[in-house]
Amino acid sequence: MARRVFGLGLLFVFILSVSILSPIQPLVFAATPMLTPTKEPAGQIGPQTYPDGVNPLTGLAVQNPENLLLPPALVSITNFPASSRPQAGLSYSPFVFEIYIGEGMTRFLAMFYGDFPKTDNNAPTTNGSTGTITDNAMIGPVRSGRLPYEGIRKLFNGFLVMASGSSMVVPSLNQYTNVYGSDAGNPNSAMIDVTKLEQIAANNQERLGDLSLQGLAFNDAIPVGGVPGDRIWLMYAYLNQINWQYEPSSGSYNRYQDHVDGTTFDLMTDRLNQEALTFENVVILFAPHEVVTPTIIDINIMYMKKMPALLFRDGQMFKIYWTTISEQYERSTGKLRPIRFIDENGNAFPLKPGQTWVEVVQQFTPYYEVPDSKLFYDLANKKEPGSGVWAVRWYPPAGAK
């Protein structure tokens, strides 16, 4: 597995207790003028119609257009313990939502729609439910369901795949399939075969009905009004830090995750193909969080009219908004559409064609530019406007662990 390492220095651990007490500043977007693009810019795909064979969640053509008739699969994939890494299948996901689940940990809800993952022919994987070696691609490790999954599932008109869930969570979820591991002592043993995932999608096609996946716009042309955004440092916890680093050669962002030591960062890869996790779009989505118990946290994303977000694409950062409000389409069809990204006037704001990773954070999470440093102290305590390195400082919601 290819790996790159950022060294952050071991002597800055003590700074955490000081920096975490920094006051939270409310989000204010009015200071920066927003782009107001025309409704149908040249070269734009969506938000209402898409060329035949183009995935409405990526703006790119798919190899198997018939798969676009199947409902999206939303798979709960673990990020902790660290032994679960590298996960399998994330590099094939059009959308990945990363949410906070308590105790400093995050979890992924990865979407599979259009072309399904394939395994490297030289890298057979283990079927978590049987313990046998298979040449089919396996996705996972699959973990338990979480309350925010249901809202996302509804918006994308899909179905959930999870490894069961808490008795306080499962009754709130619908259209789900449970996957169980082969080893009760190994939290990473639950995996799902891609062929089974395709079968579940086909079985759910009639039940979920026609898809309503319009709403996202894509354009290769870089919007005006951006500011430098080469790197994102997001600290969910000292032992759960993320670096997104822009790579001009690929025009996308590479994901680095700290090695559960707060000091070194590994380039994250996909175990199916040993390739780096690269996403054309990284979105910081500000949303209200509600603590049910210290480790059961819900996120309000349904029927939101206009909420702030940050879009990173092409090495630039744009202050935009997201919405899930019901409009004429919902009123006339009775169906929901995915989360849409808009400017201050409600016009669709274009993503770069490709994959999108959504970091879901609290509504008033502070963000600011910091020095282009590898040292935790600099990232946590210093500000440097114009650096293009953006720190997003997560604070757990009151009552959460």
Section 295-302 average pLDDT: 97
Residues 257, 266 contacting (CB under 8 angstroms): yes
Closest CA to 36 of 350, 384, 391: 350
Section 268-277 average pLDDT: 96
- Reported as a pLDDT band with limits 50, 70 and 90, residue 1 is very low
59 CB-contact burial (10 Å; exposed 0-12 / middle 13-18 / buried 19+): buried
The alpha-helical segments, DSSP class H, found in 334-387 are 376-381
Q: What sign has the CA pseudo-torsion 106, 162, 59, 279?
A: positive
Residue 17 clears pLDDT 70, i.e. is over it: no
Q: Does domain 27-216+279-365 have CATH number 3.90.1010.10?
A: no
- Reported as a pLDDT band with limits 50, 70 and 90, residue 29 is very low
Predicted confidence (pLDDT) per residue in 108-155, tens digit:
999 999 999 986 544 444 444 444 444 689 999 999 999 999 999 999
Q: From residue 47, how far is each of 61, 144, 216, 348, 349 by CA, in Å? A: 16, 33, 5, 7, 9
Read out DSSP for 283-343? EEEEE-EEEEETTEEEE--TT-S-EEEEEEETTEEEEEEEE----HHHHHH------EEE-
Section 363-391 average pLDDT: 96
Res 206: pLDDT: 85
Pairing of strands 356-362, 105-112: unpaired
Res 74: pLDDT: 98
- The answer to which of 75-79, 202-206, 250-254, 315-319 has the lowest mean pLDDT is 202-206
What value does the CA radius of gyration of the chain take, rounded to a whole number of Å? 20
Residue 385 clears pLDDT 70, i.e. is over it: yes
- Reported as a pLDDT band with limits 50, 70 and 90, residue 210 is confident
Count of helices and strands (H, E) across the chain: 5, 25
d(CA 323, CA 309): 10
Res 131: pLDDT: 42
Considering only residues 35 and 204, tell me which one the structure prediction assigns the higher pLDDT.
Answer: 204
Q: Kindly state the helix (H) or strand (E) to which residue 207 belongs, with its residue range.
A: helix 194-208
* Domain layout of the chain by residue ranges: 27-216+279-365
Q: What value does the mean pLDDT of the chain take?
A: 88
pTM of the complete model: 0.88
Residue 190 clears pLDDT 60, i.e. is over it: yes
Predicted confidence (pLDDT) per residue in 39-48, tens digit:
567 899 999 9
HEC profile of 232-246: EEEEEECCEEEEEEE
* Residue 4, number of CB atoms within 10 A of its CB: 11
